[in-house]
Structure 1
Amino acid sequence: MGVLDGKVAIVTGASRGIGAEIAAQFAAAGAAVAVTARTVEAGTSSLDGTLGETVARIEAAGGTAVAIPADLSRPEDRERAVAEAVARLGAPDILVSNAAVTYFTRVADFTPRRFQLMFDVQVEAPFHLAQLVIPGMRKKSRGWILNISSGAARHPSIPPNAWAGRGGTVYGMCKAALERFSTGLAAELYPDNIAVNALSPNAVVPTPGTLFHHLTTAGDPNAEPPSVMAEAALALCSGDPKTLTGRITYSQDLLAELRGAAPAHP
């Protein structure tokens, strides 16, 4: 028996990295998982990882998963993705918004198209997807919504370090907005027994995206394995919605708290 037996989960950005790891962890815990992203087959993205590979990994381990291709910058794709997940697996108990499109460009050089795309995928999509799944969660009188954030949401120090001037301002804006949305929605949905949280890694996670942007290296001893984020996500999406909600938390710190240990970064 898994802690998510009988549950249905939607995980976005699940063709690779953190999203794929969360989907696999949830399936191992018993959930039927709808995975969504743009990359369906190999050779269609410059980054490694596909929805097909995520589903194959889950099924090989005895789990249940369906691939739903979607461009989450498009409202109609969001609506179709949720409708298809409901039709194939049932109304979702869990939504994990992990999808991201990221450009590291300084503000003076940022184009309007890229700015809008980042907000569409990382702010508007989690907002809209939450609207789409809330009615079903209310009918069940329970639910879990998890938004994947980043330490980039924190304000830079002044004078800034070299990283602060590299071009992560818009990324940080998106994640800061996502965190405020998460706590606000948690307050709104508290009477409905629906938990809403935002989760970040304590350290950079080596994924195809972070490696592409040179944020870490495959052998970085200080990097955080994707499995740590997946374990923390599972805890947040299986805990009591009345007591584990409204959190802006970090993976290692949360796991240490739940184990009764000291946090990774006090």
Structure 2
Amino acid sequence: MAKARTAVVTGSNSGIGLGIARALADEGMNVVINSFTDNEADHALAAEISRDAGNDTAYIKADMSDGEQCRALVAKAAERFGAVDILINNAGIQHVAPVEDFPAGKWDAILSINLSSAFHTAAAAVPMMRENGWGRVINLASAHGLTASPYKSAYVAAKHGMVGLTKVIALETAEDPITCNAICPGYVLTPLVEEQIPDTMKQYNLDRETVIRDILLERQPSKEFATTEQLGGTVIFLCSDHAAQITGTTISVDGGWTAL
């Protein structure tokens, strides 16, 4: 029986990252989930995924704003499982403000976590993938990696940078059995977004359906959220042999947002 592949998913103890980690675990892969905390709940989550999927899931703490910790995450995953075959760069934060009021510290943090972390983890993982003769790097960019919105200067800059980094890694690994692609979601229904809906209903004095359709999904033509399960499925496809010649590109899961 072939040895299970190992996937590292950054920023994955909730939301999109957790959905992707569960999808990979359900495929029988070893999975490393990650965040900057290190508490009982983090390790319990890894144990729960293992029980549900019948795989081996581990939690490894790493602060994705710190380049050395990003590289150490990959090294620790390889030490635990023998290799890192799949790298999912998902970690991210957000802050909204006009350029002239945007705090410099927030700019630096967003660029570090949303972009530089992917550079550091890929730099650590790609040599392992070459040595093992197979690899997948998948970067979670955003519709904001292909277009822009006001007041999101750091986030948009980082996600555009993620798309550029994806292309470079793809070209540098083009003759290897390694691919690198970016997934660009629009609005995704995560617990964080779900929590915002009641407050938005109160703010605009609108019902839930109207808030979702006309406020939150104003720029998403389908008027439906993407789901973490759909993003997990997209990752599984990109990890499959069917996607072996898909590299250096973006896959939009945005309900038509970037078609406008």
TM-score category of the 2 structures, normalised to the smaller one: 0.7 to 0.9
Partner in structure 2 of residue 85 of structure 1: 77
1:250 to 249, 252, 259: 252
Cα distance in 1 for residues equivalent to 2:17 and 2:120 = 19
Cα distance in 2 for residues equivalent to 1:252 and 1:111 = 29
Per-residue deviation at 1:101?
1.6
Q: Which amino acid aligns with 1:80?
A: A
Cα distance in 1 for residues equivalent to 2:32 and 2:126 = 16
Q: Which amino acid aligns with 2:182?
A: A
Cα distance in 2 for residues equivalent to 1:209 and 1:171 = 17
Task: Give me the identity figure in percent.
Answer: 26
Taking only aligned residues, the RMSD between alpha carbons, in angstroms, comes to 2.7
Cα distance in 1 for residues equivalent to 2:200 and 2:188 = 8
1:197 aligns with 2:181: yes
Cα distance in 1 for residues equivalent to 2:200 and 2:169 = 33
1:228 aligns with 2:236: no
Partner in structure 2 of residue 121 of structure 1: 113
Q: Is the 8 A contact 1:142 1:241 kept in 2?
A: no
Specify the SS of the correspondent of 2:175: helix
Per-residue deviation at 1:264?
9.7
Per-residue deviation at 1:206?
1.7
Q: Is the 8 A contact 1:6 1:31 kept in 2?
A: yes
1:238 to 232, 237, 240: 240
1:206 aligns with 2:197: no
Cα distance in 1 for residues equivalent to 2:172 and 2:37 = 34
Partner in structure 2 of residue 178 of structure 1: 162
Cα distance in 2 for residues equivalent to 1:212 and 1:175 = 24
- Structure 2 gaps of 5+ residues are 202-207, 213-222
Q: Is the 8 A contact 1:8 1:33 kept in 2?
A: yes
TM-score by length of 2: 0.82
Residue correspondences, number = 239
- Structure 1 gaps of 5+ residues are 43-49, 157-163, 254-262
Cα distance in 2 for residues equivalent to 1:101 and 1:183 = 22
Per-residue deviation at 1:212?
5.8
Q: In terms of mean alpha carbon deviation, does 90-99 or 168-177 score higher? A: 168-177
1:55 aligns with 2:34: no
Q: For residues 174-216 of structure 1, what are the alpha-carbon distances to aligned partners after superposition, in whole Å with 9 as ceiling and x for unaligned?
A: 1011001101210110111110000022x41122444466699
Q: Is the 8 A contact 2:170 2:247 kept in 1?
A: yes
Q: For residues 30-85 of structure 1, what are the alpha-carbon distances to aligned partners after superposition, in whole Å with 9 as ceiling and x for unaligned?
A: 1101111113448xxxxxxx633531331221221000011011122112211211
Specify the SS of the correspondent of 1:27: helix
1:110 aligns with 2:102: yes
Query: Residues 264 and 77 (structure 1 numbering): CA distance in 2 closer, same or farther, change over 3 Å?
Result: closer
Summarize the alignment of residues 16-31 of structure 1 with structure 2, pairs less than 5 Å apart.
16-31=14-29
Cα distance in 2 for residues equivalent to 1:169 and 1:104 = 8
Q: Is the 8 A contact 2:144 2:155 kept in 1?
A: yes
Specify the SS of the correspondent of 1:250: strand
Which is helix-richer, 1 or 2? 2
1:169 aligns with 2:153: yes
Query: Residues 60 and 242 (structure 1 numbering): CA distance in 2 closer, same or farther, change over 3 Å?
Result: closer
Q: Which amino acid aligns with 1:143?
A: G
Specify the SS of the correspondent of 1:249: strand
Cα distance in 1 for residues equivalent to 2:92 and 2:257 = 26
Q: Which amino acid aligns with 1:60?
A: R
